[in-house]
Amino acid sequence: MKHYIKISLALVAVWFIQACNDEFLERQPLDEISNEVFWNTENDMLVYNNSLYDAARNDNDVPILMAHHDGFNSHRWSMWYQDEFADNMAPIHPRHTFFQQVRAGKHIVPSNPQWFGYRNGGWDFVRAINFGLENYDRTPVDQATIDKYAGEARLFRGWFYADKVQKFGDVQWIDKTLNIDSEELFAARTPREEVMANVLEDLTFAAASLPDSWNDGNAPGRLNRWAALLVKSRVCLFEGTWRKYHGGSDAEMWLEEAANAAKEVIDNGPYMLYNTGDPENDYNSYHRILDLTGNPEVMYWRKYQLGIFTNHVQSYWSNYSGGATRNMVEDYLCTDGLPITTSPLYEGDATIESTFVNRDPRMRQTVLHPDDSEKYKYHNADGRDYPRFVGMEGGRKTTTGYHIIKVYNADDMIGKAFNTAESPAIILRYAEVLLNYAEAKAELGTITQGDLDMSINLLRERVAMPPMSMNPQMDPRYANDGVTPIISEIRRERRVELFMEGHRYNDLRRWKQGKKLEKPDLGIRWDEAAQARYEGATVKTTVDPETGNTYVDVYQGTDWADPVFDESKHYLWPIPLNVIAQNPETTQNPGWGGSGE
């Protein structure tokens, strides 16, 4: 102890002597970079913005560049799982309880920030963005170069805030660096329309300031101008349709912004659909490879590489996602371009094989046909018959009978140790640009056949499906949705094309179609023949009152049976209690209790 005191006193003496030296006081710390001397070159701005990409890689704290988290957490935070919030997939594994809670309308007000919600790391991200924006102009370079990096930061900020508004409605807008005593920390939430006006300014600035290319050869590097335009079209489409169906001002302005942003990419961008002329494979082939460099459709992706950044998502999703739902499978058109409810080509669902007959080729490239097990080496080329259910011996199990094959890559599991897989994540792709454009134009009521031909019909052409016309037949299943047949068909196209890419839940909320989530998640047809075929399977079943047929009922007897959707509250998520406790000016969202009701 005496020795420690002597050293401490000596250090104090040295500090005191040095403190008397004015020159010493003017020196910068040797073990850190000071803000006063950092901003010297363009490379400094680039390095600083690299830290924003690093922060955005945590998909839980910053859920915008949704991909797969690294290593073990691949079982939680992946864009592949986002459809579990909705009616596309039916997970039942306890590690995905949060997805099941939200899907069933059984989530409650959390004490602490929940997944993808109010996260401390997320607000740290905003602070880092604002700090950069306050300092880029220190760099002695031309304004266009400064704007390039400011545009990158503002793209992140606008995207981040759009996500928060979509989940929570009003949210506190912060556009400067705060200190621990800043009064803004204790202010009320900013009204949604004001926040979104700021978001639009950010995204517009980013789309005007970012370069067309960072000359990275479409490697998973930086977000360019075209990516900013896609994000802008996505955000504006959400906001425009939200205001159209939920109420709000300037819905048409937002839809026009969405259409114009998408059209700019279509007219002048360097991207196109991946299409080799093989309609039986082109839709899913590039979703199942490790290197997407140079793919003309992929606008932004995240790479995983052994020894640097890896995942275990292939194993996790096939175990935990449960499988595609009957509701999802029934949305695939028949090869005559008609829905199963009206097409004479539909052969019914008496067996899983008959379900695939005369259907959109994307169905067989999304859901595993029993005859394709060998083609895809499912599961790890184990040679078993699929589908398989809980209770059957060996192999991968499904909750619905519809194993998902769209992204399956056996080669990323065979022979690889736990947490060392490298399946990439496609974060932005050109197909969404086409879908955003068509939907925005349809919602505006200005869509033409030419618009369909440059958007939806390119997607259909890739898989050799008949083109969409201006007067599609209304599917009786959607006759009560309150929209025109063409909007209904564009929504169907979006669901089919973007399955398992994280859009379905947000789409249902912005369309004010939450009631669709009250339908139970069912699987394949179940009768005596199925019981004999899937010997040992332990499944629950229910009778469909519309057809009188019996189907696998995934959640019967569980906490997630009988899903509910409360129109008065479930379109927004609740604010965590600890957030309200830290700032009493933060009110709760309507329907969730507290002062927000």
For CA atoms 498, 504, 507, 511, the dihedral sign is positive
Provide mean pLDDT across the span 61-71: 92
Alpha carbon dihedral 295, 301, 307, 311, in 10-degree steps, equals -120
- Determine, yes or no, domain membership for 233: yes
Q: What does the pLDDT read at residue 119? A: 78
Q: Which residues contact 105 (CB under 8 A, 6 or more apart)?
A: 517, 518, 563, 564, 565, 566, 570
- Determine, yes or no, domain membership for 192: no
- Determine, yes or no, domain membership for 266: yes
Alpha carbon dihedral 557, 558, 560, 564, in 10-degree steps, equals 40
541's enclosing H/E stretch is strand 541-543
Using one digit for the tens of pLDDT, what is the confidence trace for 439-493?
A: 999 999 999 999 999 999 999 999 999 999 999 999 999 999 999 999 999 999 9
Q: What does the pLDDT read at residue 32? A: 55
Q: Is the peptide bond before 387 cis (omega within 30 degrees of 0)?
A: yes
Q: Which residues of 480-514 are buried (b: 16+ CB within 10 A; e: fewer)?
A: ebebbebbbbbbbbbbbbbbbbbbbbbbbbbbbbb
Using one digit for the tens of pLDDT, what is the confidence trace for 364-383?
A: 999 999 999 999 999 999 99
Q: Is the pTM of this model over 0.85?
A: yes
- Determine, yes or no, domain membership for 291: yes
564: phi > 0 → left, psi -120 to 50 → alpha, else beta; which?
beta
Rounded CA separation 517/314 (Å): 27
Q: What does the pLDDT read at residue 338? A: 98
- Determine, yes or no, domain membership for 546: no
Q: Which residues contact 540 (CB under 8 A, 6 or more apart)?
A: 552, 553, 554, 556, 557
What is the DSSP annotation of 318-340?
A: HHHS--B-HHHHTTSPBTTS--T
Helices within 57-94 (DSSP H only): none
Position 216 pLDDT exceeds 70: yes
Contact indicator for 126, 134 with CB cutoff of 8 Å: no
Contact indicator for 399, 322 with CB cutoff of 8 Å: yes
Contact indicator for 75, 66 with CB cutoff of 8 Å: no
Residue numbers of the domain that contains 264: 213-300+427-471
- Determine, yes or no, domain membership for 465: yes
Contact indicator for 321, 404 with CB cutoff of 8 Å: yes
CA distances in angstroms from 555 to 103, 325, 474, 520, 537, listed in the order given: 11, 12, 31, 8, 15
- Determine, yes or no, domain membership for 145: no
Place 15 in a pLDDT band, splitting at 50, 70 and 90.
very low
Query: What is the token pair recorded at 542?
Result: 């229910």
Rounded CA separation 174/184 (Å): 8
Contact indicator for 419, 312 with CB cutoff of 8 Å: yes
Q: What does the pLDDT read at residue 318? A: 78
Burial class (CB in 10 A: 0-12, 13-18, 19+), 80: buried
Selection from 253, 210, 251, 252 nearest residue 230 by Cα: 210
**Which amino acid belongs to residue 468?**
M
Contact indicator for 322, 331 with CB cutoff of 8 Å: no
Rounded CA separation 68/425 (Å): 7
Number of domains the chain contains: 1
Selection from 411, 399, 404 nearest residue 365 by Cα: 404
242's enclosing H/E stretch is helix 225-246
Using one digit for the tens of pLDDT, what is the confidence trace for 393-405?
A: 999 999 999 999 9
Contact indicator for 384, 394 with CB cutoff of 8 Å: yes
Provide mean pLDDT across the span 498-520: 97
Q: At what angle do helices 225-246 and 143-168 cross, to 10 degrees?
A: 30
Query: What is the token pair recorded at 12?
Result: 């104090």
**Which amino acid belongs to residue 450?**
G
Q: What does the pLDDT read at residue 451? A: 98
Q: What does the pLDDT read at residue 114? A: 84
Q: At what angle do helices 143-168 and 192-209 cross, to 10 degrees?
A: 150
CATH number, domain of 440, equals 1.25.40.10
Rounded CA separation 397/392 (Å): 8
- Determine, yes or no, domain membership for 455: yes
Q: What does the pLDDT read at residue 9? A: 31
Q: What does the pLDDT read at residue 76? A: 84
Place 317 in a pLDDT band, splitting at 50, 70 and 90.
confident
Position 8 pLDDT exceeds 80: no
Place 219 in a pLDDT band, splitting at 50, 70 and 90.
low
CA distances in angstroms from 292 to 211, 213, 301, 394, 504, listed in the order given: 21, 17, 8, 33, 24
In sequence order, the β-bridge partners of residue 543 are 550
In sequence order, the β-bridge partners of residue 436 are none
Q: Which residues of 200-233 are buried (b: 16+ CB within 10 A; e: fewer)?
A: bebbbbbbebbeeebeeebebebbbbbbbbbbbb
